[in-house]
């Protein structure tokens, strides 16, 4: 795993802190608190992995264009780091909607909250 770059997009207090796991694996973590900051970081570093929480866009202001909070970032990711593996964390009540996102973008693994360190390590 050495030399890998891992983007952690932390948009809620439910996002677990796996910094210790990344350090043990020799992975450099880029931790951001918004999608906009994550897109900005894409211009500086190409992630091998991205972990982010999925929030379904129930009647959002985008007239049905975006499925979730991740759409715009994942479109940018395809341009800057198309080989990156996407790990999506989701609340069990929104799990059914992740398929809509996966129909648009490649999702490597879906992890349902609460996510353990062992689950994430297995996904790597």
Q: What is the pLDDT of residue 61?
A: 57
Query: What is the total count of domains within the chain?
Result: 1
Range of the domain at 61: 5-123
Q: Is the pTM of this model over 0.75?
A: yes
Q: What is the pLDDT of residue 14?
A: 87
Q: Strand ranges (DSSP E) for the chain?
A: 5-9, 28-32, 49-53, 85-90, 109-112
Closest among 24, 13, 2, 7 to 108, alpha carbons compared: 7
Instruction: Give the up-direction half-sphere exposure of residue 6: CA atoms within 13 A in the CB hemisphere.
Output: 26
pLDDT bucket at 16, cuts 50 / 70 / 90: very high
Q: Compute the C-alpha angle 3/9/11, nearest 5°.
A: 160
Q: What is the pLDDT of residue 1?
A: 46
Average pLDDT of span 88-95: 96
CATH code of the domain containing 75: 3.40.50.2300
């Amino acid at each position: 795993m050495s030399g890998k770059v891992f983007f952690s997009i932390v948009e809620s207090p439910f996002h677990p802190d796996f910094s210790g796991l990344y350090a043990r694996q020799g992975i450099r973590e880029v931790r951001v608190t918004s999608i906009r900051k994550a897109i900005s970081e894409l211009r500086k570093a190409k992630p091998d992995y991205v972990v982010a929480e999925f929030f379904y866009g129930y009647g959002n202001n985008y007239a049905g264009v975006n499925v979730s909070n991740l759409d715009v970032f994942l479109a940018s990711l395809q341009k800057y780091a198309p080989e990156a593996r996407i790990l999506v964390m989701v609340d069990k009540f929104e799990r059914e909607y992740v398929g809509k996102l996966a129909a648009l973008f490649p999702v490597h693994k879906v992890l349902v909250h609460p996510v353990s360190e062992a689950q994430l390590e297995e996904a790597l």
